[in-house]
Amino acid sequence: MTECNSDLPYAFYSHRSLVVRFSDLELSSDAGILRARQAEEQMQVCQGIAEWIKEWRDPHKTTRSLPQLVSQRVYQIVGGYEDANDSNELRHDPIYKLACDRLPFANQDHLASQPTITRLENHVGTQEVSQMRSRMVDGFIAQHPQTPDEIVLDIDGWDDPTHGQQQLSCFHGYYEQPMYFPVLINEAKSGYPLVLQLRAGNSHPGKGVAGILRWLFWRLKRAFPGVRLILRADAGFALPEILQVCERAGVGYAIGFARKPVTASKIADRLERARLQFCQTGAKARLFDDVYYAAASWQAPRRLVMKAEWLPKGANPRFVLTNLEGEAQSLDDDFYVQRGADSEHRIKEFKLGIQADRLSGHTFIANQFRLLLSQAAYILLLAIRHAAKGTQFATAQVPRLQALLIKGAARVRVSARRVLVELAAYCPFAQELRQITQRLVSAKGLSWG
């Protein structure tokens, strides 16, 4: 008699008994992790992180190397499994075993479980994290064999709510919640995340940024002599120490500036003219101007680009501090406003795709290490996206990359001569997968310029 017990009891199919079970075959739902592994072959981001972790385990009792542990954790984040607890099931997955350089035999040669992954996260110290951060910048530099003419850096912070007793989790008055306050610095054109720094929850948006920028400018200028560096940021970073770091390093900047009584008086005439123009046409009106303005804490005046905008809902004046040349409207419309879209998209990808806001470790440094692992996962997904140039995935956001290029059924079989990975026959973008994989195999296929 045919056995009709079903693990998932569906009742819509009337022609015959519908039986849905979890297969006993060596199957995986994350075939695209192999693409992340191929990207790692070129980027060496997991290897770079592992190189700075000091081995603390007894070598006679160690069965998994540090590069394998780091790679397993990063690949799980790429696959959308942000919790260490997911390791308990994924350690048996044949695709993850292959990605971590293990043979995908059933019931043997398993990957690390959650306790092992957690011990790794809690072992890393401050000095190791600092060296890993430097390695991330080295990875960006390595992708540019020739000095680029210009590098535009975007910086922004984002709120990361906390829900436990995490160290340095503090209440932030503006966001009205206990949180961390990470800051992200990424290269605008490629989206590469150079720095992802965790900060206490009650930090000012610009707290600690001057020191990070001083170090980052030095690293980039040493690697790329003659490169033109430009920093874009919102008004939270318009601090005297940040402006001084940029000016002393010869770095251009376009940084938002908050509205104050003095600046409001300087734009009042333009704003009134914009209001009259709106009343005459019924369409939003925008007028631009610039002045040299000196706050009380500044030693010299700086250029302030002003946008007098009148919308149906009323006045919308905006200010940008800059040391760049060019017309006021061009600096605002064609350059500065792009910062908002770029930075917000990167942060959204980190939060929604990588789940980088899942910082549930007890210690601050363990959560900083988790951010670095998320940064590594994002870099691998960026490499896949760059390899997808010319396809429908060339501009896809991280969640879509995960859904269509990482998630995918595969059957894995091992014989004496080969490991066979069989993908779904009915894949609507098989040609794109071939193209992306081929480019990942070739270092020339990863164009970050």
| Residue spans of the chain under pLDDT 50 | 445
pLDDT for position 443: 64
What is residue 344's predicted lDDT score, i.e. its pLDDT?
Answer: 82
In this structure, is residue 11 part of a structural domain?
no
In a domain, 191, yes or no: no
In a domain, 327, yes or no: no
Q: Is residue 74, in this structure, part of any structural domain at all?
A: yes
Cα–Cα distance, 282 to 277 (Å, whole number): 8
Domain assignment present for 359 = no
pLDDT tens by residue, 277-302:
999 999 999 999 999 999 888 889 99
Q: Is residue 432 part of a domain?
A: yes
Residue in the block written with tokens 């070739």: 442
Give a yes or no: residue 292 inside a domain.
Answer: no
Boundaries of domain holding 436: 27-124+373-445
* pLDDT on residue 424: 86
Which residues lie below 8 Å from residue 434, measured CB to CB, with a gap of 6+? Answer: none
| Residue 114 confidence (pLDDT) | 95
Those residues with Cβ within 8 angstroms of residue 214's Cβ, 6 or more apart along the chain or in another chain: 245, 249
Is 383 in contact with 43 (CB distance < 8 Å)?
yes
Flag whether 313 is in a domain.
no
3-state SS of the chain: helix, strand, coil percent to 5?
45, 15, 40
| Number of domains within the chain | 1
